[in-house]
Every structure is written in C-alpha cells, then in structure tokens.
Amino acid sequence: MRVVAVVLVIWLAIGAFAAYQRGYFSGSEETSCAEVGTVLLTIVVGPLNYVGVNPKIDCTIPQPSQ
C-alpha cells in the first residue's frame, strides 16, 4: 500500500510540473472553469503529458437570467 501512495505522489508531482512548464500557474486575475479544469486534468494525467497528451477542458457556466 505504501508503494502505491509513493507512486501516486510522484505521478501527481510530474503532472504539476507539466502544468508549471505550460505556464498554467501564471496567476492571471480572471479564471474560468475551463482554465481550472485544464490545470487539474493536466495534473491528474501526470507523465502522459510528456508522451503527447494535451488535455483541454471547454466548459461554460450558465449565466443568471435577467
């Protein structure tokens, strides 16, 4: 069980580094659900980012009625 935990932490660290390399942590003031989803998916995909996986999320949030 300990080996699985270590592998999981390494996997997520590689994904976070890939997101950092792509500039997803630049700190823009306006953040959309698509940007947050893309960053999270990039981290979860982990090392697969380096074999060609480039996850992108496209979402829209419903606007309140007027």
Q: Does residue 61 carry a pLDDT above 80?
A: no
Tell me the pLDDT band of 10, cut-offs 50, 70 and 90.
very high
| 32, 5 contact by CB (below 8 A) | no
Which residue matches tokens 């998916």?
41
| 13, 44 contact by CB (below 8 A) | no
Residue 2: partners with Cβ closer than 8 Å, 6 or more residues away: none
For 18-52, write each residue's pLDDT tens digit.
Answer: 999 988 888 766 777 888 888 888 899 989 888 88
**How many Å apart are CA 53 and CA 64, to the nearest integer?**
35
Tell me the pLDDT band of 17, cut-offs 50, 70 and 90.
very high
Q: Does residue 8 carry a pLDDT above 90?
A: yes
